[in-house]
Chains A and B, each alone.
Chain A
Amino acid sequence: MAVVTWLVIFVISFALGYPLAFGMFMGAASYVILSHINLSTILNVMVIQYEGNFVLLAVPLFIFTAKVMNASQLTDRLFKFAGAFVGPVRGGLGHVNVIANIIFAGMSGSEIADVSGLGLMEVKAMEAAGYDKPFACAVSASAATLGPIIPPSIPMVIYAVISGASIGYLFLGGILPGFILGGCLMVWIGLISRKRNYPVGRWYTIREFVRSFIDSFLVLLAPVLLLGGIYGGVFTPTEAAAVVSVYAVVLSLLVYRTMGLKTLYKVIVESVVATGFTSFIIGCALLFGYALAREQIPVAIANFFVHLGVTQSKVLVLLSLNVLFLFLGCFVDATASLLIVIPIILPLVEAAHIDLVHFGVVVVLNLMIGLSTPPYGEAPIIISRLTNTPLHDVIRETLKFIVFMIIALFIISAIPDTVLWIPRMAGYAG
């Protein structure tokens, strides 16, 4: 009775569009009530359990850093600097767009922050240079996928907490796949630019290069500080996030003076709201996970697949899970998919002896692709609103990029070394 009530409330509230976090909370809380479990369990699971998950504190800090960078237009400097790396290539600004996203990914950790921050400026620049607006939007939406793949990454922090995988190795594991994904996007940009005769880029003069480097130097130090601090053993990921967020405030407020105190206050409150909905849902997922674990549902699912013999083939399991996550990504938010599905399938992944770091990077990439796929593709929706471009035109162009993203996903899924090579060099034993 308790299990049925829990699942019915969750499934119906989810399907009918009631806020997901509250659907999870209502379902799991009704399970606790109907199972006559001590009601203080809810408080215990949803509040006290956070104390043991210090790494989650990185989530609001990464959110805040990205918002400061966007509000103070520090991202403009990155875009100008990225232009120095693309010479006289057809579709040059499209490539610049991808490179700027790779650099910004080194400090933001969120696809939405990337597309909202860099997107408008990138599309304006590309349109002014003669690119079709929907194509420019699609490049920005697709390149923003790189945000959570290249460290730091908010979804990887959440995955690490649920799975117990090392956050440090997960971050390292995302570096090479980020470049593979960026490369795949650039291949398509190159092909389509030749076909549509988009403008050719140009080399910067030495003067322009030096100028753009000096202009962006302090911003470029942010990822160095963040990743250098973590892998130099100076900071934990959470501490690194705090250092970079203070660094971003100092740059914006005191050095470049592109942000005033009023804007800072606005950014803080917006970060509170964002923390409210991203981290509160984690608390609800902890309660949901408690009910799942108490009923041993994940173990039962894993046993079912073990009996079927499915777990003997890593490739089959990974392929099936990739299809599942791609499908979910079309309809459900990435954080929600992580929080609901990972606890259920984790025993299955372990039974198939799939490395948790490899799996984590594959899942995050998969879910980020989902942020570009219709009908729930947040990235095309945001960029279409920001630039006043019809959504169906943006989606039509984005779909072609998705093919190349799936090629990158296939490479990364099929060759675990693309993820594990760098972590192993850093001492990972997996």
Chain B
Amino acid sequence: MKSLPRRIFDFLEVYLPAAIFSVLILSVFVQVVFRYIFDQPIPQLFEISIYSFIWVIYLGGALATRYDQHMRFDLIYRKLSRNGRYVVDMFFDTLLNVIISVIIYPTIATVVQMYKLKSDTLGIPWSYLLVCFPIFLILIFIHNTISIVLKIREMAGAEKPAEETPPWL
């Protein structure tokens, strides 16, 4: 039985972006079909596709962080001891969390302000597009915090927790 936080993470980082990715492909495809076959362009589909893309980038970016998939220049990193690698990761995870803490409030404030501004064709608030970014920042903050705590515990002698099986496998 999955815990509630894990279910929330899975929803935000796996199921939701997978659904949005499908919408992205279909919206561009249907756009082409309607424009060239039925000669009836649907301008709303352009917005749907670009909004979907931006959401996939940031939710996918959070998922890639969760499973450590972001690219690294690991020439030096690989040569470090386990504790050396952990210290590097913990230092920069902390720095990233500090930066996120500084920018998160003004970012959310801007997203809220943008509610009044409507998109050109769908007529929906811009906030709906932009809100993926603060969600991303919060997810990264949480993943970093969990990672720091686990690494400290491990360095203090606790056993390394079993690797989590990705929910799509």
Q: Chain A residues in contact with chain B, CB under 8 A? A: 9, 13-23, 25-26, 29-30, 33, 38-40, 42-43, 46-48, 50-51, 54, 56-57, 60-61, 64, 234-235, 238-239, 241-243, 245-246, 265-266, 268-277, 279-281, 283, 331-333, 335-336, 375-376
A17/B32 in contact, CB under 8 A: no
Contact flag A277-B69 (CB < 8 Å), given A18-B88, A39-B107: yes
Whose C-beta in chain A lies nearest to the C-beta of B56? A275
B1-9, B70-78, B149-157: which lies at the interface: B70-78
A245/B92 in contact, CB under 8 A: no
A57/B24 in contact, CB under 8 A: yes
Least CB distance from B88 to A in Å reads 5
Contact flag A15-B103 (CB < 8 Å), given A268-B22, A273-B63: no
- Point out the residue from A26, A266, A335 that lies within 8 Å of B96, measured CB to CB: A26
Give CA–CA (A111, B18) in the complex, Å.
24
13 contacts across the A-B interface (CB closer than 8 A):
A16-B77, A16-B92, A17-B85, A23-B92, A39-B107, A42-B107, A266-B168, A269-B168, A275-B21, A275-B56, A276-B61, A277-B60, A333-B73
Instruction: Say yes or no for B133: interface residue by CB 8 A criterion.
Output: yes
Q: Which residues of B contact A242 (CB under 8 A)?
A: 25, 28-29, 31-32
Least CB distance from B139 to A in Å reads 11
A279/B60 in contact, CB under 8 A: yes
Q: Which residues of B contact A56 (CB under 8 A)?
A: 53
Q: Which residues of A contact B76 (CB under 8 A)?
A: 15-17
Residue among B25, B76, B106 with most chain A CB within 10 A: B25
Whose C-beta in chain B lies nearest to the C-beta of A229? B32
Whose C-beta in chain B lies nearest to the C-beta of A240? B32
- Point out the residue from B60, B96, B106, B130 that lies within 8 Å of A272, measured CB to CB: B60
A332/B96 in contact, CB under 8 A: no
A272/B59 in contact, CB under 8 A: yes
Least CB distance from A6 to B in Å reads 12
- Point out the residue from B14, B17, B46, B73 that lies within 8 Å of A17, measured CB to CB: B73
Q: Which residues of B contact A64 (CB under 8 A)?
A: 21, 25
Contact flag A26-B99 (CB < 8 Å), given A43-B110, A266-B168, A275-B57: yes
Whose C-beta in chain B lies nearest to the C-beta of A332? B73
B18/A239 in contact, CB under 8 A: no
Give CA–CA (A17, B26) in the complex, Å.
38
Task: Report the 3 A-B pairs with minimum CB-CB distance, sorted nearest first.
Answer: A17-B77, A276-B60, A280-B61
Give CA–CA (A38, B107) in the complex, Å.
10
Give CA–CA (A17, B18) in the complex, Å.
29
Whose C-beta in chain B lies nearest to the C-beta of A375? B75
- Point out the residue from B22, B36, B64 that lies within 8 Å of A276, measured CB to CB: B64
B130/A246 in contact, CB under 8 A: no
Instruction: Say yes or no for B169: interface residue by CB 8 A criterion.
Output: yes
Whose C-beta in chain B lies nearest to the C-beta of A249? B25
Give CA–CA (A38, B76) in the complex, Å.
36
Give CA–CA (A13, B63) in the complex, Å.
21
Q: Which residues of A contact B77 (CB under 8 A)?
A: 16-17
- Point out the residue from B32, B61, B88, B169 that lies within 8 Å of A16, measured CB to CB: B88
Q: In the complex, given contacts A268-B21, A272-B18, what are 9 additional A-B residue pairs having Cβ atoms less than 8 angstroms apart? A: A17-B73, A20-B72, A39-B102, A47-B58, A50-B50, A276-B62, A279-B61, A280-B60, A331-B75
A20/B70 in contact, CB under 8 A: yes
A275/B60 in contact, CB under 8 A: yes
Q: Which residues of B contact A266 (CB under 8 A)?
A: 168-169
Give CA–CA (A25, B61) in the complex, Å.
13
Instruction: Say yes or no for B132: interface residue by CB 8 A criterion.
Output: yes
A272/B21 in contact, CB under 8 A: yes
Q: Which residues of B contact A234 (CB under 8 A)?
A: 36
Give CA–CA (A19, B71) in the complex, Å.
6
Give CA–CA (A300, B59) in the complex, Å.
37
